[in-house]
């Protein structure tokens, strides 16, 4: 079990959550689509983070169990079942789950192939994996400010976690070797109102961005310094694209 990063307070999580929330007219159909794939038996949300997606899936009718290496659940998800677990060593029996939700996790683990292997192990014969390798990249002024803030944080001593992981073709090939084949893809998106302070705080305050054990209490001051230097109104709301993409996998015949 890896040690948990130091989380400064709820500021980073709240900012992170503000960018994860899609309008109900988009999130409703998204969660309904995922629920139809994941089923209504035991469903794991592996690397659940703040649990906002788990909460949405639960509201759509999925019996979700959250897992992660650190309990970073937001208040809205605090009452959902949670198991502290390494994504590559899930404490569940073979074939125990009708579905696994795995979003924006594989680039933050030591061995993404081991994670996919364990996910395949816990899936039932007719189970589904809903996998997202990440949101559609956003290139804008806020992206540039976040890059500046990240560079400043590293100059001040914060050590970034290694970021590695598969592209879509590599994930597909690995899963095919495990007997899971891509069945369908979905993409849902909307413009989400955010502030520069939220974007930078969410980026720097995410504990999975840094090596385990890093003290993130300096994040609010770093964010304020970068925004002041850029002459940007930290709390002016702007619309920022957020588009999520998933691919669903099921076990191929005879595997």
> Over the stretch 198-249, which tens digit does the pLDDT of each residue have?
999 988 988 888 988 888 889 999 999 999 999 999 999 999 988 999 999 9
**pLDDT tens track for 96-132:** 999 999 999 999 898 999 999 999 999 999 999 999 9
- What 8-state DSSP symbol labels residue 253? T
Whether the predicted pLDDT of 140 surpasses 90? no
pLDDT for position 78: 92
Q: What is the DSSP letter of 210?
A: B
Distance CA 97, CA 148 (A): 42
Percent of the chain's residues with pLDDT above 70: 91
What is the model's pTM?
A: 0.87
3-state secondary structure 23-50: CHHHHHHHHHHHHHHHCCCCEEEECCCC
Of 83-97, 124-138, 172-186, the one with minimum mean pLDDT is 124-138
3-state secondary structure of 125: strand
C-alpha radius of gyration, the chain, whole number: 18
Output the pLDDT for position 41: 86
What pLDDT was estimated at residue 128?
97
Q: Name which of 92, 47, 94 is nearest 73 in CA terms.
A: 47
Block residue for tokens 């980073």: 12
- At 215, is the secondary structure helix, strand, or coil? strand
218 CB neighbour count, 10 Å cutoff: 16
In tens, the pLDDT along 60-93 reads 999 999 999 988 888 889 999 999 999 999 999 9
């Amino acid at each position: 079990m890896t040690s948990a990063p130091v989380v400064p307070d709820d500021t980073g999580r709240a900012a992170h959550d503000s960018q994860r929330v899609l309008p109900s007219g988009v999130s409703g159909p998204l969660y309904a689509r995922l629920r139809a794939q994941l089923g209504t038996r035991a469903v794991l949300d592996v690397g659940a983070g703040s649990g906002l997606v788990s909460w949405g899936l639960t509201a759509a009718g999925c019996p979700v169990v959250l897992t992660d290496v650190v309990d970073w659940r937001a208040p809205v998800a605090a009452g959902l079942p949670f198991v502290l677990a390494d994504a590559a060593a899930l404490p569940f029996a073979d074939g125990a789950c009708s579905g696994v939700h795995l979003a924006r996790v594989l680039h933050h683990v030591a061995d993404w192939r081991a994670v996919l292997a364990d996910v395949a192990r816990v899936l039932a014969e007719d189970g589904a994996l809903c996998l997202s390798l990440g949101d559609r990249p956003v290139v804008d002024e806020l992206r540039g400010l976040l890059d500046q803030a990240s560079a400043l944080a590293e100059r001040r001593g914060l050590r970034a976690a290694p970021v590695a992981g598969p592209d879509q073709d590599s994930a597909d090939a690995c899963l095919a070797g495990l007997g899971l084949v891509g069945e369908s893809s979905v993409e849902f998106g909307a413009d989400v109102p955010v502030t520069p302070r939220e974007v930078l705080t969410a980026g720097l305050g995410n504990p999975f961005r840094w090596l385990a054990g890093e003290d993130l209490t300096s994040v609010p001051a770093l964010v304020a310094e970068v925004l002041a230097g850029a002459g940007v109104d930290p709390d002016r709301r702007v619309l920022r694209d957020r588009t999520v993409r998933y691919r669903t996998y099921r076990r191929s015949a005879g595997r």
